[in-house]
């Protein structure tokens, strides 16, 4: 794809990504998505115009060009959420060029993303979670240390609301009742570990056959750092055996942590800090879940509902 972009635009592309990573502290995963989105957009333009893409072509794009690109994504059955992110990626690049006074953003400013359906997070019920966390084993053929590892990890996720990659990046030497976690945007926050969480981590460390002292806390069966994909594959299998909902995943533990705190009366600002959200808006979705549950209770219990 690089040969379809002229050298000047390639250098601007690299400068934009560097700004996102160094100055704005975007995560590696976000940078990968933004890079892929912009390359896909430029590839579309190349096919559309049958010529090497340069700055002059970007300066002369019309509203119809952006609409044609978004329509092509819809025809590929890409989700509204994916299309909205792709538009944000392209818009970010155009804003970067505008700051360099290389073009203006009037055309792309007039491109409106399709309204996303509001997707509420899907937590796991409190009863199901507690029952699951207290199981003696998960898979009969697993060594005891693997069960201990999984129980420690699941308990950690639910008791702290950590993202799965935040949990898997923990090093054994850093485990403490108060831990500093580096989250998205290289933002640090402190999480507290309950005694039961520490106890289960210590049980796992004690029974693990590998030396954990200097490396990552959670290891796979071959002694290498445990991958998030492995965790979710195991949870997919476990949902059938343990009456867990279909949406069960490592991220569902984080949703459950936040939802249950809000339902118990925790204030939103505190939950925002615990989750490591940059803005309160990201945390407010959990109040929507609570409102929904409240309405269901209201419908079932109000005297007039029985009339």
- Residue 281's pLDDT is 63
Q: What percent of the chain has pLDDT over 90?
A: 35
Give the catalytic positions in this structure: 163, 184, 251, 254, 277, 286
With cut-offs at 50, 70 and 90, classify the pLDDT of residue 302: very low
pLDDT value, residue 291: 45
- pLDDT confidence band for 224 (50 / 70 / 90): very high
What confidence tens digit (pLDDT) does each residue in 136-177 have?
A: 888 888 999 999 999 999 999 999 999 999 999 999 999 999
Pick from 6-15, 19-28, 88-97, 228-237: least confident: 19-28
The whole-number pLDDT of residue 295 equals 44
Q: What is the enclosing helix (H) or strand (E) of 83? A: helix 80-99
- Does residue 182 carry a pLDDT above 90? no
Instruction: Provide the whole-model pTM.
Output: 0.59
Collapse the DSSP code of 230 into the 3-class scheme (helix H, G, I; strand E, B; otherwise coil) and give the result: helix
Task: Please identify, in words, the CATH class of the domain defined by 126-298.
Answer: mainly alpha
Provide the residue ranges of all domains of the chain, joining segments of one domain with +. 2-109, 126-298
Phi, psi (deg, nearest 5) at residue 62: -105, 170
- Please tell me which residue, 191 or 186, carries the higher pLDDT value: 191
Q: Report the top-level CATH class of 2-109.
A: mainly alpha
- Residue 229: the pLDDT is 87
Beta-strand ranges (E) seen in the chain are 178-182, 188-192
Rounded Cα distance between 89 and 34, Å, is 5
Predicted local distance difference test score (pLDDT) of residue 260: 85
Which pLDDT tens digit goes with each residue over 121-142?
Answer: 678 888 888 999 988 888 888 9
The answer on pLDDT for 297 being more than 60 is no
- Report how far apart the first and last C-alpha atoms of the chain are (Å, whole number): 67
Q: State pLDDT tens for residues 251-287.
A: 889 888 888 888 777 777 777 788 887 766 667 666 6
Instruction: Give the pLDDT mean for 49-63.
Output: 86
The whole-chain average pLDDT of the chain stands at 83
Q: Helix (H, G, I), strand (E, B), or coil: what is residue 283? A: helix
Which range has highest mean pLDDT (75-79, 113-117, 221-225)? Answer: 221-225
The set of residues, in sequence order, having a beta carbon less than 8 Å from that of 60 and lying 6+ positions away, is: none
Q: What is the C-alpha separation between 264 and 164, in angstroms, rounded?
A: 24
> What local confidence, expressed as pLDDT, does residue 50 receive?
67
* 3-state helix vs strand vs coil in the chain, percent to 5: 65, 5, 30
């Amino acid at each position: 794809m690089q040969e379809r972009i002229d050298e000047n635009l390639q250098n601007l592309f690299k400068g934009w990504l560097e700004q996102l990573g160094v100055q704005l502290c975007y995560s590696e995963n976000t940078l990968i998505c933004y890079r892929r989105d912009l390359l896909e957009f430029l590839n579309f333009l190349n096919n559309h115009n049958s010529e090497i893409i340069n700055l002059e072509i970007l300066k002369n794009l019309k509203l119809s060009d952006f609409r044609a690109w978004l329509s092509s994504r819809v025809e590929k059955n890409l989700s509204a959420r994916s299309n909205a992110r792709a538009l944000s990626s392209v818009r970010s690049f155009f804003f970067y060029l505008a700051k360099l006074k290389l073009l203006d953003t009037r055309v792309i400013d007039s491109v409106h993303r399709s309204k996303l359906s509001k997707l509420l997070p899907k937590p796991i019920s409190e009863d199901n979670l507690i029952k699951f966390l207290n199981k003696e084993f998960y898979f009969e053929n697993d060594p005891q240390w693997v069960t201990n590892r999984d129980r420690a990890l699941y308990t950690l996720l639910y008791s702290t609301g950590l993202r799965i990659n935040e949990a898997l990046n923990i090093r054994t030497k850093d485990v403490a009742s108060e831990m500093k976690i580096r989250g998205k945007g290289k933002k640090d926050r402190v999480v507290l570990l309950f005694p039961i969480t520490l106890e289960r981590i210590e049980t796992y460390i004690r029974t693990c056959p590998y030396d954990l002292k200097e490396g990552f806390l959670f290891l796979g069966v071959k002694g290498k750092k445990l991958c998030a994909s492995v965790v979710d594959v195991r949870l997919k299998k476990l949902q059938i055996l343990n009456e867990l909902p279909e949406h069960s995943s490592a991220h569902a533990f984080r949703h459950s942590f936040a939802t249950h705190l809000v339902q118990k009366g925790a204030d939103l600002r505190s939950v925002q800090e615990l989750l490591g959200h940059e803005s309160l808006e990201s945390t407010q979705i959990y109040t929507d879940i609570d409102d929904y549950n409240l309405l269901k209770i209201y419908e079932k219990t109000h005297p007039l509902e029985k009339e």
